[in-house]
Amino acid sequence: MSSDFSECGAALLPQEDRPQELARLLAHPFIWRAGHAARTQAWPTGFPALDEGLPGGGWPRSGLIEILSSRFGMGELALLMPVLATLTCRAGARWCAWMAPPLQPFAPALEACGIALERMLIVRGAPHARRSNHKELWAFEQALGSGACDIAFAWARQPPPRQIRRLHLAAQRGGTLGVLFRPSWAAREASPAVLRVTVEPLAGGARVRLLKSQGGARGAIELKWASQAALAGHP
Amino acid sequence: MRVRRSADLFAPPLPTRTPPAAPLKGIAPPSASPAAAPAELWLGVQVAAGAKQTGPDSPPALRHLATLAQRFTPRLSLEPPDGLLLEVKGSLHLFGGVDGIRREMARECARCGLRGTLALAPTPLAALTAARADRSLLVLDPAQLIGQLSPLPLAALRWPQKLLERLASIGVRTIGQALRLPRAGFAQRFGAAQLGELDRLTGRVSDPRERFEVRTRFRRRRELPCELENHAALLEALGPLLTALEQFLESRQCGVLELECRLWHRGCPPSRCALRLAAPLADARRLAELIGERLGTLALPEPVRACELRSGLPVPRVPSSAGLWQPGEHGGLSEAHSPRLIERLRARLGSDVVKGLAVLEDHRPEAAWCVREPGACSEVAHCRPLEGGLGSPASRPGAPRNAARPRRPLWLLPLPRRLTERDGLPRYRGGLRLLGEPERIETGWWDGAEVARDYYIALDTHGRRLWLFRERHPPHRWFLHGVFG
């Protein structure tokens, strides 16, 4: 072990450029690189193009991600339908929690996407939603941290960054994928979420832009909605 | 002759099959049955109920009597509207024999303000029938049962009046006369159910009875040594009550679904905090956790002097074995863990806030779904075969599951929203472009919520897909009904 480290020290001396030496050094199991993300466990997104761009090849299994869109209903939920179908239909599926969804999730459409409805847990928002934002965040944190959910959705207007950090830690504790839907102007703010993407609609699909993905690719990815997902707007 | 008798002796009595070898034999079992001591001794009580209650539920006075009579025996069953049956064989020696137990039971009846007729017989139905015939029968020997029952009128069996009249028309008015009729003919002419009842009466077949059990609720109050205002201290003060509740429930293998905690103040009405649980629960620690959540949101008007715990009806609970892994670990439990989350959310946010989803078989979008208890299976969707229509391709045999299913949005508006129009075309924050062919939904005339709509998919200026409909009938208004997420 000690000889290994002394070797490292020798290699780091800026004496001369030795690329093969550097490659050997980087192959050392004690060195982790930021771009090397194979260690994150992920759920396949159902879109091969997106899987390639994401670290670990899919949505992370635990932690908080943010999906930003300029308006409600730009395809941000359709993006998650394939993973929802795999998560709810597998053996030992946990809950899929919806924290105060802005509209009613339409059960026949969800079922048409192949989602097992008995795993859905809808937490209705307070009727006077403006004030009780903290209640929804509390419920979201409970769902994330309890370990009883595979995935949990929340629509937050303006959560403080400290809260987001809390949510992220809760999601890691509970082994839950937390999805926070936010307006696209939130892209200007920093966020502790592990993954941030924006969604824009395209004809029969969507363009997903990766804003922040730890160790994943950058840039835009164009997706086509699966035809059977009952989402294709074009005949 | 010898052959037949030996067959009668050893053949087990079969309830409904009529023995073809003995067409002339009566319903009564052979009198040569072994004269052993009866395995059971039933005490039938018929109370003279003042008000005739014929409802399906037993009257409260009878339930009260049954509760009191539980001190004689645990095997007790209610025979509504006015009967009570007790199996007293095992407790005779505790109450001074037959006379003693009759005396005690009569006293209990008197205490309830009822006049009871008591009869003892080896079979429950015989005891009940004798009591209902107003005879204080005492039959200890099964061999004497039929002889003692014979003079009783058939009406005591409470058969339908029409049947009794038919039996009377052939001269059968007493139980003895009925027992002398041939089995096959009796079953054919008066019904196998009546034959079975006569068999139970004479002990030819066994007669299991549903046991009456009092379901007591837990209710206990504790005066606090000093007035408390702090929520944490209150929760601690509730601890002994919760432990008592746990013991109460554990001893009955039950759990509670509803629990109310009342906090008494000096000068104003008690504060209440009610708890509704998703699954029967008996664990004091988890109950304390949930009450703690609830107390946290409760505003106390005054310091608390006493607290009281009242449970709902205890519900049978199947204790589950604990998982090998801790919840946080890999492979940790999820199913058993999940009610905790629901209960916690309900305790804090309200009991009707957490719901599950299910699909209903209906073409109208607003009627095609419903909320239900989380985790409940949506069995409705696939069991009822409907004629193939727009919304039910799943029930169409042979159709692939998703092939013919029309497009549905992921989000539905709670109420359709009226859209403005320009030149006959709808507008929603700008112009809308209609895509594809409309889908007609015209149904629901049978329940008053008839719809006749043409549904369109439209693209708005931001590229969102919306689900609109236009009324088929004038004034042909446009509405927004859903958003494709």
Q: How much is the ipTM here?
A: 0.81
The answer to whether A136 and A99 are in contact (CB under 8 A) is: yes
Per-residue tens of pLDDT for chain B, all 485 residues: 343 443 333 334 444 444 443 444 567 665 544 445 667 889 988 887 554 444 445 677 888 888 888 888 888 898 877 889 999 988 888 888 889 999 999 988 888 888 888 999 999 999 999 998 888 888 888 888 888 899 999 888 889 999 999 999 999 999 999 999 998 889 888 888 999 999 999 888 888 888 887 767 888 899 998 888 888 888 888 999 999 999 888 888 888 888 999 999 988 899 888 888 877 888 888 889 888 888 888 888 889 999 999 988 888 887 666 666 655 555 555 554 567 788 888 888 877 888 888 888 888 888 888 888 887 654 444 433 333 333 333 333 333 344 456 788 999 998 999 999 888 888 888 888 888 888 898 888 888 888 899 999 998 888 888 999 999 888 889 999 999 87
Summarize pLDDT for A173-193 with one digit per residue, the tens. 888 999 999 998 888 888 888
Does residue A234 lie in a domain region? no
Cα separation, A61 vs A45, whole angstroms: 11
Q: Are B194 and B163 in contact (CB under 8 A)?
A: yes
Judged by CB atoms closer than 8 Å, whether chains meet at A71 and B462 is answered as: yes
Residue A48 in any domain: the answer is yes
Write down the pLDDT at residue B11.
39
Contact B368 A74 (CB under 8 A): no
pLDDT tier, A106 (very low <50, low <70, confident <90, very high otherwise): very high
Domain range B219-316, CATH class: alpha beta
CA A64 – CA A161 distance, rounded (Å): 12
Mean residue pLDDT of chain A comes to 81
CATH of B38-202, one of 3.30.530.20, 3.30.70.270, 1.25.40.10, 1.20.1260.10: 3.30.70.270
B412·A103 Cβ contact <8 A: yes
Residues in chain A, total: 235
Based on the fold, state whether residues A120 and A16 are members of the same structural domain: no
* Band (A199; pLDDT cuts 50, 70, 90): very high
Residues A17 and A54 in one domain: no
Q: What is the pairing mode between strands B315-316 and B304-311?
A: unpaired
Nearest of A124, A120, A94 to residue A109 by alpha carbon: A120
How sure is the predictor about A126, in pLDDT bands with cuts at 50, 70 and 90? low
In a domain, A196, yes or no: yes
A69 and A10 share one domain: no
Cα–Cα distances in Å, from B422 out to B415, B427, B431, B478? 22, 7, 9, 11
Q: Do A102 and A191 fall into the same domain? A: yes
Residue A141's pLDDT band (cuts 50, 70, 90): very high
**If you ran DSSP here, which 8-state letter would residue B352 be given?**
T
- The range of the structural domain enclosing residue A139 comes to 37-229
User: How close does chain A come to B368, measured CA to CA in Å?
Assistant: 7
Count CB atoms within 10 A of the CB of residue A41.
Answer: 12
Residue A168 lies in a domain: yes
Q: Which uninterrupted H or E stretch holds B275?
A: strand B271-281
Q: Are residues A159 and A191 in the same domain?
A: yes
Q: pTM of this prediction?
A: 0.59
- Work out how many domains chain A is built from and give that number: 2
* Bridge partners, B427 (sequence order): B420, B431
Distance CA A115, CA B12 (A): 57
Which of B444, B443, B425 has the alpha carbon at shortest distance from B435? Answer: B425
Asked if the C-beta of B397 comes within 8 angstroms of chain A's C-beta atoms, the answer is: no
Domain ranges of chain B: 38-202, 219-316, 357-395, 411-483
Residue B320 is classified by DSSP as P
Probe site for chain B from A76, A118, A142 (most B CB atoms < 10 A):
A118
Of A11 and A199, the structure prediction assigns the larger pLDDT to A199
Measured between alpha carbons, how far is A51 from A37 in angstroms, rounded to an integer? Answer: 13
In one-letter notation, the amino acid at residue A228 is Q
Q: Are residues A61 and A132 in the same domain?
A: yes
Confidence at residue A68, expressed as pLDDT on a 0 to 100 scale: 92
> Tell me, what's the pLDDT at B112?
82
Kindly determine whether residue B485 and residue A202, on different chains, have CB atoms separated by under 8 Å.
no
- Which residues of chain B make contact with A121, given a CB cutoff of 8 A? 341-342, 354-356, 374
Higher pLDDT, A214 or B210: B210
Q: Which of B276, B344, B320, B330 is nearest to A146 (CA)?
A: B344
Specify whether A206 is located in the same domain as A143: yes
pLDDT tens-digit map of A30-70: 777 665 555 578 889 889 888 888 888 889 988 999 999 99
The verdict on A27 and A85 lying in the same domain is no
Query: In terms of domains, do A4 and A94 share one?
Result: no
Domain match, A69 and A91 both: yes
User: For A96-127, what is the HEC assignment?
Assistant: EEEECCCCEECHHHHHHCCCCHHHEEEECCCC
At residue A230, the pLDDT reads 43
Whether residue A43 sits in one domain with residue A15? no
Classify the C-alpha dihedral A163-A165-A169-A172 as positive or negative: positive
d(CA A225, CA A212): 23
Short-list B188, B193, B186, CA closest to B170: B186
pLDDT at A14: 55
> Is any Cβ of chain A less than 8 angstroms from the Cβ of B485?
yes
B410 touches chain A (CB under 8 A): yes
Please check whether residue A142 lies inside any domain of the structure: yes
- CATH number of the domain at A67, please: 3.40.50.300
State how far the Cα of B332 lies from the Cα of B340, in Å rounded to an integer: 14
Question: In terms of domains, do A42 and A157 share one?
Answer: yes
Residue A235 lies in a domain: no
Residue A135 has pLDDT above 90, yes or no: no
pLDDT value, residue B349: 83
Determine the distance in angstroms separating the CA of A217 from the nearest CA of chain B, rounded to an integer: 25
Interface of A with B in 168-187 (CB under 8 A): 173, 175
